[in-house]
Amino acid sequence: MSADTSAPVTPAVSMDSIVALAKRRGFIFQSSEIYGGLNGFFDYGPLGSELKKNIRDCWWNDMVRRRDDIVGIETSIIMHPKVWEASGHVAGFSDPLVDCKVSKQRYRADQLFFAPVVVTGADGVAQTAGYVSALESENTAGELQSAAESFKRKKALQGTLAPVVVKDFTEATPAEIVLIPSPATGNPGDLTPPRAFNMMFQTNVGAMTDASSVAYLRPETAQGMFVDFKNVVDTGRVKLPFGIAQIGKSFRNEITPRNFIFRSREFEQMEMEYFIHEDADWSQCHQEWIEWCRQWLISVGLPESKLTLYAHKKEKLAFYSKGTTDIMFEYPFGVQELWGIAARGNYDLGQHATASGKPQEIFDEATKKKFVPHVIEPAVGVDRILLAVLCAGYAEEDVTDDKGNVEKRTVLRLSPRIAPVKVAVLPLLKNKEQLVGRARDLYKKLQRRYAVFYDDGGNIGKRYRRQDEIGTPWCVTIDFDTIEKPGDTFTLRERDSMAQRRITEAELFALLEERVY
């Protein structure tokens, strides 16, 4: 067998290479691509849907099946519109929207930044000569500073330019709004003041399309757990503390969907509401769930070094929230929220009790009193995890084979837990009946339990490369030693180390049992 010997990793991963791989190998496509695509919507191809399903299954197994205190449910996407009034989404689920009146471009005000251009003249007097603006990026301050320098040059201003003081558009005063240039036209006076834009998608239920039939596509799965709380308590044999979990699609009419699948308009959430006693130590429970989520992300292959915690500032929390911590991931476009873990008090159950007139209480045997439980909510997007594992796993390397030839390999280091294909079965030659027969036999056996791939096309090195690129952790090659020597062994080739060793069928199944769970 030809062996690969060295693999220096090229560290920088660009989003362009991730998007290109996702398209080339059938992970993710733009939705409705043949019609030009629809911004903020994506399709998952054969490998992408397997990868997504594996992420969902790992979460469900670890969060629901392998715990005694959490049950799963699946609620409808369209719920009674009163749910969204009670939850506060009708009144408050909005982002601040800014229009450019000339270009018709729309921006989220908190993602549009500006700075005054302040120049100090020879007389020592600092004056604001104008404003510059830029959209949020990895280096917004740097971009604004360059824009301020170019502003000074173009206007031939004399004096010293002060370092820019960056603010977002929600902080702009009415006097500043008319002076800040639109990023689209470059002209001041083209931007409107920010206004609240509700992100829920509306639809109508039934034959009438008037106000009485308005309904919403859910913007989060969480409300399903609150609205069904009593049903689960009455039927599920659950006792506090306990959780209700759900995986499902959510929809948000995001003003600026971006960064590929990071922020889209249709996405999938995995949320769990963990109900605790009103007197329980919510802070300790919150911390435990933060750590559980962090460990879970590591268990599906995210490097610990790329995960950080961000505790929301007290003054920025919703009034009912006692604390929210986000697990952040270092994406190629910056460190961004991956998983939010919120302590929501008894706000949601309380709201639904008031709005529906149906108490959402639990009876405390110890105190003989009824109370509304409090909740800790870990909420994460499947698509964001999928993007994170693609970004963390992607590498381009130079490899040298045993003949000294150097070539490039693209490799996706996905955890065996979530890799779309677990094993590729490769007969060394496709026209040798004995090799093909043994390979087919092994393939069929593996297929009963695992996602496997059979490939008999091209030279063996090329076949390994194809599997490296889609993240297959192991290839087994059925070769002449398999059929000619005793022991019925195959060559097992590992994706990450590219090391090869001989393995029996029983050992292969044992390896899979241990690593794919």
CA 318, 319, 325: angle at the middle one, nearest 5?
Answer: 45
Nearer to ligand GAP, 253 or 434 (CB): 253
Q: Pick from 339, 347, 453, 490: which binds ligand GAP (CB under 6 A)? A: 339
Our finding on whether 269 is near ligand GAP (CB under 6 A) is yes
Provide the strand spans (E) within 121-176: 126-135, 160-161, 167-168
What is the C-alpha to C-alpha distance for residues 119 and 168, in angstroms, rounded to an integer? 21
Which of helix, strand or coil describes residue 390? helix
Nearer to ligand GAP, 252 or 493 (CB): 252
**Cis before 96 (ω within 30):** no
Our finding on whether 376 is near ligand GAP (CB under 6 A) is no
Least separation in angstroms between CB 250 and ligand GAP = 7
DSSP class per residue in 490-516: EEEEETTT--EEEEEHHHHHHHHHHH-
What is the C-alpha to C-alpha distance for residues 207 and 195, in angstroms, rounded to an integer? 32
Nearer to ligand GAP, 86 or 380 (CB): 380
Our finding on whether 379 is near ligand GAP (CB under 6 A) is yes
Our finding on whether 252 is near ligand GAP (CB under 6 A) is yes
Least separation in angstroms between CB 289 and ligand GAP = 13
SS3 for 313-354, per residue?
Answer: CHHHCCCCCCEEEEEEEEECCEEEEEEEEEEEECHHHHHHHH
Contact segment (CB under 6 A) with ligand GAP among 141-149, 364-372, 380-388, 480-488 equals: 380-388
Our finding on whether 383 is near ligand GAP (CB under 6 A) is yes
Cα R_g (the chain), whole angstroms: 28
Our finding on whether 271 is near ligand GAP (CB under 6 A) is yes
Other Cβ atoms closer than 10 A to 444 = 12
Contact segment (CB under 6 A) with ligand GAP among 266-274, 284-292, 428-436, 503-511 equals: 266-274
Nearer to ligand GAP, 41 or 509 (CB): 41
Nearer to ligand GAP, 70 or 452 (CB): 70
Our finding on whether 242 is near ligand GAP (CB under 6 A) is no
Least separation in angstroms between CB 224 and ligand GAP = 10
Contact segment (CB under 6 A) with ligand GAP among 161-169, 259-267, 393-401, 484-492 equals: 259-267
Our finding on whether 95 is near ligand GAP (CB under 6 A) is no
Distance from the Cα of residue 127 to its chain's centroid = 44
- Strand-pairing partners, residue 202, are 216
Binding site for ligand GAP (CB under 6 A): 220, 222, 252, 254, 263-264, 267, 269, 271, 337-340, 377, 379-381, 383-384
